[in-house]
Amino acid sequence: MLREHGDGGFSFLAGIAPYSSGVVATPGHRLVRVVLAEPLPWRSGLEGVLRLLEREKRPPEALAAVELRSPTVHTMPEFVEFNGVYLDAMCALGVIGDGLNPVARTNVVPSRPLSAETVVHAVTVSMPATDRTPRLSFVVAGAGELIEANLQETAIVRRGETSSAALIEKARLVLRVMGDRLAGLGASWTHVTCASVYTRHQMGLIVDAAVRDATGDRFGVTWYDAAPPVVDIEFEMDARGGTDEIVVDLTA
């Protein structure tokens, strides 16, 4: 079920403690993707985003989604530990209260690290709507081949396998998750204007066998040579639609 996030200007699908499954702008609002001209360490990057929101007379709760880039792949216990630190920081910054975290997230590991530490690559924030704001403005959080988003190694589909059949099965599971999240946000694949795939594996086979049937050919799929954040997860995907995009230098 969608839950409205107070004064944030968006509703969210409940996920797990560190992040939600997706967000959609509420009436009178739109979602804007803010790409950082220079990636910043995740704590200072989030602080910079909140200063940007303050200048735009938007509350901290207007932070709707975060895109992180990590330098290395984590073990599952390491990832769980980072999530705890991240969640504490989000609470301390006033982005969330004591309830469910409404902020969606994608966290991946580029083949060439951007920094020696995890950085903020981009965020999505809610802003007042304009006359040309699409009816649906949404972001679907990143998802890997985990059964029911369970952060346990045993929940990884075809764990330790990278054969063509295993990769296709992993991709198909992720596509089902993405489809369910889209439906939960009141959207479908026809509303998606950017679908991103993060994997270190050759994309042609996966796209032909699994992705294209779901996403169609109009906008295609953006492939990033990047790994999901946890060892043995091989395929991650996120999506968005009806969002604006700007580039901001938060170091200035």
Domain with 215 in it: what CATH number? Answer: 3.30.1330.40
**Which of 69, 71, 236 minimizes the C-alpha distance to 156?**
236
Above 90 in pLDDT, residue 245? yes
159: number of Cβ within 10 Å: 15
Above 90 in pLDDT, residue 89? yes
Query: 239 lies in which domain range?
Result: 2-248
Q: How far apart are CA 73 and CA 140, in angstroms?
A: 22
- Mean pLDDT across the chain: 92
Q: How far apart are CA 129 and CA 29, in angstroms?
A: 4
Give the residue-averaged pLDDT of 145-168. 91
pLDDT score at 118: 97
* Burial class, 160, CB count within 10 angstroms (exposed 0-12 / middle 13-18 / buried 19+): exposed
Above 80 in pLDDT, residue 136? yes
Task: Kindly report, residue by residue over 31-64, the tens digit of the pLDDT.
Answer: 999 999 999 999 999 999 999 999 999 999 999 9
Length in residues, the chain: 252
Give the residue-averaged pLDDT of 91-96. 91
Q: How far apart are CA 62 and CA 64, in angstroms?
A: 6
Q: How far apart are CA 226 and CA 215, in angstroms?
A: 20
Maximal C-alpha separation, the chain? 51
Q: How far apart are CA 240 and CA 110, in angstroms?
A: 20
| H-type alpha helices, 67-210 | 76-92, 164-184, 203-206
Task: Using alpha carbons, list the distances in angstroms from residue 110 to 34, 60, 119, 156, 197.
Answer: 19, 28, 11, 21, 12
Q: How many domains does the chain have?
A: 1
Q: Is 63 helix (H, G, I), strand (E, B) or coil?
A: strand
Task: Kindly report, residue by residue over 100-126, the tens digit of the pLDDT.
Answer: 899 999 999 999 988 999 999 999 999
Asked if residue 119 lies in contact with residue 69, where contact means CB atoms within 8 angstroms, the answer is yes
- pTM score: 0.94
34 vs 165, more confident: 34
pLDDT score at 132: 84
Above 70 in pLDDT, residue 173? yes
